[in-house]
Amino acid sequence: MKPTPDGHRDATVKRRAWRVAVVGCGGAAYGIHLPVLSALPAVEIAAVYDREIGRAEQAVSQFGGRVAASTAELIEGADLLAVLTGVHEPWIELALAVGVHVFTEKPVSLDLDCTRQLRRQADAAGLLLEVGVVRAFDSAVAELRRELPEHELRGGWMVKADGHDVAARRPFLPLGVSPYTFGTDREPQTPAVLGPAGGRALKILLWQGYHLLTTMALTVPNARPVSCTLSQDRTTVHGIVRAPNEATIACTIGSASSGVHLDHVTLTGSDTTLTAEFPPPYGPADGGTLFAHGARRRLLPARGDDLPARQMWSAIADRLTAHSRQRAIPTGTGHIAEAVEQLAYGLARFTTVNGPASSTGDSVLLNSEQP
């Protein structure tokens, strides 16, 4: 087990900042994590690595640290590796193998079994495996859970439709850096049991709908997937889950026209209906806004004004400190990430595909025996 950064276990002794190595210098790095890490006193950016060295050099000039020329240089002296690449598993395995804590962008993997195995591997090594479930640190979600506990739910719907992502990324990216830097990556594989359509649904759920599903996993923690429909053009997923009291929650996740960003959750109880609206995550973004419906729409004040991404990284730094001092470690993000991936996998297993509009309108069920 790693000692505290300065070797002391006395909480009154000032320690150095936690050294974070960063791999991947795309939209998530520039738009969310590097601005937060560079401004957070508890951590420092120790090294940055990208397969295109120019992107790493630009990141270091803007946010600090040093450019690592190899993975060995990246990991050397690091307390934690922040995995901000398109494919996560190999980097997670590398860090855990050499005794370095890990933060990874979401999802951990498209394979739920792989995610569980990596979590077990981290636990066995006495290391943290944290995940970018930033919505778990959004005050609007916390208020939603307080105002409408799961047992009081009567129904709801959740929508994520985004045609604004490229435009949202461009303002903070250096000139010449593509909004998406993982286009040449090998396409991640989904579990074969899901088949092609179920695999496509899983990618939409976890790539485009992860934050929405995080909200669902937190507000309806015992949700039971009951159906999932993939649009004929395979760009949109419509899912339904049920709470333990049989309240039905519907979700729609897909693309939208250019410039459109919809990310909102509406939940209804016996005497109230609440809607949370969320901005794109880049900037990094402020938290969501919560409204109560009734005779007139009214804004519910959020408790806490810190950015969700900053709260997340502060919590991770606190966990590193507790871990190093052999104290009780506050609950982390790994279990939330696994719950989100389990929810997505559960929905994807029910995937059907809408038939052509000119047909009878019947859906085609895709099971594990179909190609």
CATH code, domain carrying 37? 3.40.50.720
Domain assignment present for residue 360? The answer is: no
Residue 324: band (very low, low, confident or very high) from pLDDT cuts 50, 70, 90: confident
d(CA 126, CA 146): 33
Domain assignment present for residue 123? The answer is: no
Domain assignment present for residue 7? The answer is: no
Domain assignment present for residue 175? The answer is: yes
* Statement to judge: residues 22 and 94 lie in one domain: yes
d(CA 142, CA 152): 16
- What per-residue confidence (pLDDT) applies to 366? 37
Peptide bond into 284 cis (omega under 30): yes
- Residue 362 reports pLDDT greater than 50: no
Residue 319, phi then psi, degrees to nearest 5: -70, -40
Mean pLDDT computed over 196-223: 97
* Statement to judge: residues 35 and 145 lie in one domain: no
- What per-residue confidence (pLDDT) applies to 305? 56
- Residue 124 reports pLDDT greater than 60: yes
Alpha-carbon distances of 223 from 14, 51, 78, 187, 214, rounded to whole Å: 44, 40, 38, 30, 12
Domain assignment present for residue 65? The answer is: yes
* Statement to judge: residues 300 and 165 lie in one domain: yes
- Residue 95 reports pLDDT greater than 80: yes
- The pTM of this model reads 0.88
* Statement to judge: residues 65 and 157 lie in one domain: no
- Residue 360 reports pLDDT greater than 60: no
Mean pLDDT computed over 45-63: 95
Write out the two tokens for 332. Answer: 């982390």
Domain assignment present for residue 364? The answer is: no
* Statement to judge: residues 153 and 229 lie in one domain: yes
Residues 6+ apart with CB under 8 A from 285: 278, 279, 307, 308, 309
- Residue 369 reports pLDDT greater than 80: no
- Residue 364 reports pLDDT greater than 80: no
Q: List, as one string, the DSSP characters of 252-292.
A: EEEE-STT-EEEEEEEEESS-EEEEE---STTTPP--EEEE
Domain assignment present for residue 2? The answer is: no
* Statement to judge: residues 337 and 196 lie in one domain: yes
**pLDDT tens-place string over residues 248-292:** 999 999 988 888 899 999 999 998 999 999 998 888 888 999 999
* Statement to judge: residues 216 and 302 lie in one domain: yes
Number of domains in the chain: 2
Per the structure, the complete domain to which residue 26 belongs is given by 18-105
Alpha-carbon distances of 231 from 160, 237, 249, 348, 356, rounded to whole Å: 15, 6, 19, 13, 10
* Statement to judge: residues 88 and 209 lie in one domain: no
* Statement to judge: residues 139 and 101 lie in one domain: no
- What per-residue confidence (pLDDT) applies to 245? 95
* Statement to judge: residues 204 and 286 lie in one domain: yes
Q: What is the mean pLDDT of the chain?
A: 87
% of the chain beyond a pLDDT of 70: 85
CATH of the domain at 271: 3.30.360.10
Domain assignment present for residue 122? The answer is: no
Asked whether the beta carbons of 288 and 299 are under 8 A apart, the reply is: no
* Statement to judge: residues 34 and 149 lie in one domain: no
**pLDDT tens-place string over residues 145-194:** 999 999 999 999 999 998 877 777 777 788 777 767 666 677 789 999 99
d(CA 321, CA 328): 10
**pLDDT tens-place string over residues 10-34:** 444 457 899 999 999 999 999 999 9
* Statement to judge: residues 230 and 302 lie in one domain: yes
